[in-house]
Every structure is written in structure tokens, then in C-alpha cells.
């Protein structure tokens, strides 16, 4: 009974208690950084963060927001949007907006109006391939021709232990050995038990979907994206793939529609 309750309320509880942000491992933050760094950003462009959660990408793209990127975040979990709103409010000059939506349904966004679409650990909760195909088709409709879509999904090599080890290493490199040991002894045990092991179980029991690199690329190409970049992130526990929307015959290479 408790397992079912935890599964149904995992995200909601994490956002409401702020534990989601507090316990986020450094390796996960690094994968979000790579998600943003993998796409070139121009002033005035629109980025849609699908499944934005508590706004982790906002933390990783402050330079881009100050540069003039417009950020739109969408998530089904209202408690997460509250956290994301607080982060977006820190930048008085940022052009950021958020709304609640189920991305398995058509999003209330104008067709071909988004330059960059980011799905950082969001599509993997859709287990059925046909359902993911439908979601990607809907997302493609709001992406501009030649627009970019970057997707990060867990790999079949997902390992809670590897993620913790990588996070300790990153923390040591960035903030020193004392900070790394503090997180290893006091924070990351909770991260491991309350978050990573749960996700690992969900993936191993097919409650959520773990991808091979070939599978993720194939699904993106089937949707009409040409893969332009790929890499392993999250301690080798996730795949990051960036695809460009293929131009249609009446919208040749280099064509772009104003937002």
C-alpha cells in the first residue's frame, strides 16, 4: 500500500516538502547544464521546458535569460510550478512564464512558435511507445521548422550507486573535499533511499521506461528530427540527444517563421 502511495505522490511530495531540490544530486544538475549547453541560444528565441518540475533548468540558464532568451515552463504538478515561479521571479529582467499542463494532451501554444524545446527527464514516464509517439508529434507541431529539440532520458544502465559516486566527485571538484564528504555522509544517503533507488526500481519493473541510445534516436528521427548531437550524461545513466526539425518542401533549409 505504501509503495502505491509513494509512486502516485512521488513528485508532489518532493515539490511540496522542497526535498526534491534539496536532495538533487550534483550529477543530475550537471545533466541539466549539459541540456542547456547543447543548444545554441540567440537573443529573442523561445525555449519551452516540457515537464519543468521545480525549475531546475532555470537555475542552469541564468546567463541565457539575462541575454534575452524567453523561457516557458510547463508541468502537470502545481507544487513544482510554485517552486519554479519563485526561481523565475529572482530575475526582474527575465522573460519567463509558466503554466500547468499535461503534455500528453495538446499544449495551448501557437503552432511553430518555439525555437528550442527541452525535455529533461520527462518523457520517460510514458511507458507506451505509441503514447510517446503521440506526445512527440504534438511537440513537433509547436516547434519551428529547423527548431531544436533536446531530450534527456534515463539509459538502461541506470544505477543509483553510480549516480551517487559521480555526484560526490563533482561536488569535490566544484566545492572541495569537505563539502563532498558532508553531502556523502548526510545528504546523499537520503537522495539514494528516497529518490534514486525508487527511480531505479520503477525503471527495472517497467513502470517507467529506460532507453537505449539507438531507441531514443530512432523515436526522435521517426518524429521528424535529424539528430545533430548526442552524449552520455548523468554518470552514464542517461542519454542526451539533440535533434533539429526537418524542413518541409515548402519550408526550405534556413526558413524560419516569426514567433
Q: pLDDT band at residue 248, thresholds of 50, 70 and 90?
A: low
Share of the chain above pLDDT 70, in %: 94
pLDDT in tens, 33-56: 999 999 998 899 999 999 999 999
Q: Rounded to an integer, what distance in angstroms lies between the CA atom of residue 9 and that of residue 12?
A: 5
**What number is the average pLDDT over the span 169-187?**
98
Q: Looking at residue 1, what is its pLDDT?
A: 62
Grid cell locating 215: 531507441
Does 257 have pLDDT greater than 60? no
Q: Rounded to an integer, what distance in angstroms lies between the CA atom of residue 227 and that of residue 148?
A: 10
Residue in the block written with cell 524542413: 247
Please list the alpha-helical segments (H only) found in the chain. Answer: 2-16, 19-22, 26-37, 56-60, 62-67, 78-88, 129-142, 160-175, 177-182, 188-190, 197-204, 213-223
Q: pLDDT band at residue 256, thresholds of 50, 70 and 90?
A: very low
Neighbour-count burial of 95, counting CB atoms closer than 10 A to its CB (0-12 exposed, 13-18 middle, 19+ buried): middle
Sequence-ordered list of residues with C-beta below 8 angstroms from that of 14, at least 6 positions apart, any chain: 20, 23, 195
Share of the chain above pLDDT 90, in %: 88
- Strand ranges of the sheet holding 70-75, from the earlier edge strand across to the other edge: 95-100, 70-75, 46-50, 114-120, 143-154, 238-245, 225-233
Could you tell me the residue ranges of all domains in the chain?
2-245
pLDDT in tens, 179-235: 999 999 999 999 999 999 999 999 999 999 999 999 999 999 999 999 999 999 999
Q: Rounded to an integer, what distance in angstroms lies between the CA atom of residue 164 and that of residue 191?
A: 8
Q: Looking at residue 250, what is its pLDDT?
A: 45
Q: Looking at residue 66, what is its pLDDT?
A: 94
Is the dihedral angle over the CA atoms 96, 41, 243, 38 positive or is it negative? negative
CA-nearest of 239, 191, 200, 159 to 25 is 191
Q: Assign a CATH topology to domain 2-245.
A: Rossmann fold (3.40.50)
Strand partners, 154: 238
Tell me the pTM.
Answer: 0.93
Sequence-ordered list of residues with C-beta below 8 angstroms from that of 253, at least 6 positions apart, any chain: 146, 247
Q: β-strands 70-75, 46-50: how paired?
A: parallel
Q: Is 233 helix (H, G, I), strand (E, B) or coil?
A: strand
Amino acid at each position: 500500500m505504501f509503495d502505491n502511495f509513494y509512486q502516485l505522490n512521488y513528485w508532489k511530495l518532493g515539490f511540496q516538502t522542497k526535498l526534491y531540490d534539496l536532495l538533487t544530486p550534483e550529477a543530475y544538475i550537471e545533466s541539466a547544464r549539459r541540456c542547456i549547453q547543447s543548444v545554441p541560444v540567440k537573443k529573442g528565441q523561445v525555449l519551452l521546458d516540457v515537464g519543468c518540475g521545480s525549475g531546475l533548468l532555470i537555475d542552469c540558464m541564468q546567463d541565457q535569460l539575462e541575454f534575452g532568451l524567453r523561457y516557458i515552463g510547463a508541468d502537470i504538478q502545481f507544487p513544482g510550478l510554485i517552486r519554479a515561479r519563485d526561481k523565475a521571479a529572482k530575475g526582474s529582467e527575465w522573460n519567463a512564464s509558466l503554466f500547468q499542463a499535461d503534455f500528453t494532451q495538446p499544449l495551448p501554444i501557437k503552432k511553430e512558435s518555439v525555437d528550442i524545446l527541452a525535455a529533461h527527464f520527462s518523457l520517460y514516464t510514458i511507458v507506451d511507445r505509441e503514447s510517446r509517439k503521440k506526445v512527440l508529434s504534438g511537440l513537433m507541431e509547436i516547434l519551428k521548422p529547423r527548431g531544436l529539440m533536446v531530450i534527456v532520458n534515463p539509459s538502461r544502465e541506470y544505477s543509483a550507486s553510480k549516480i551517487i559516486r559521480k555526484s560526490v566527485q563533482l561536488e569535490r571538484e566544484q566545492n572541495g573535499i569537505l563539502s563532498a564528504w558532508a553531502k556523502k555522509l548526510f545528504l546523499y544517503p537520503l537522495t539514494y533511499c528516497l529518490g534514486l533507488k525508487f527511480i531505479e526500481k520503477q525503471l527495472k519493473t517497467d513502470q517507467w521506461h529506460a532507453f537505449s541510445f539507438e531507441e531514443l534516436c530512432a523515436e526522435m528521427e521517426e518524429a521528424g528530427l535529424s539528430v545533430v548531437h548526442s552524449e552520455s550524461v548523468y554518470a552514464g545513466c542517461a542519454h542526451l540527444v539533440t535533434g533539429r526539425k526537418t524542413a518541409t518542401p515548402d519550408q526550405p533549409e534556413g526558413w524560419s517563421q516569426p514567433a
